[in-house]
């Protein structure tokens, strides 16, 4: 997921970068980037180090997720969710069942 540039992000406090998760209109997690050990840069360093140890290389255009700062939340097929980053934007999604073509797909993490 990529969004608009956060101007002068290096000069902002991690507390100024909020994240809230709502499922079916109910807030189930809320925090800021300050909750990540080392902030977002620490999370990025961790995942890059782990990928290197496992022999996984990033390719141009790859996107990575460095975790779930608000926690992991239970949701069911049909649920609607929003991840809200305050003035920086939001992501809306609705969970749907996997099509038959995905039933035997497994993640290969190297």
pLDDT score, position 38: 86
Best CA proximity match to 67, nearest among 92, 47, 84? 47
CB atoms within 10 A of CB 42: 13
Which residues, given as ranges, of the chain have pLDDT below 50? 1, 110
Residues 6 or more apart whose CB falls under 8 angstroms from that of 8 comprise: none
Predicted pLDDT at 4: 76
Residue ranges per domain, the chain? 22-98
pLDDT at res. 63 = 79
The neighbour count for residue 8, using CB atoms within 10 Å, is 7
């Amino acid at each position: 997921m990529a969004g608009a540039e956060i101007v002068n992000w290096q000069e902002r406090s991690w507390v100024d970068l909020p994240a809230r998760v709502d499922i079916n209109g109910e807030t189930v997690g809320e925090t800021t980037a300050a909750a990540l050990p080392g902030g977002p840069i620490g999370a990025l360093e961790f995942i890059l180090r782990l990928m290197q140890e496992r022999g996984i290389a990033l390719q141009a255009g790859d996107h990575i997720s460095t975790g779930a700062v608000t926690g992991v939340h239970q949701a069911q097929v049909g649920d609607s969710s929003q991840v809200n980053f305050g003035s920086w934007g939001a992501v809306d999604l609705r969970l749907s069942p996997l099509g038959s073509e995905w039933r035997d797909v497994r993640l290969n993490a190297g």
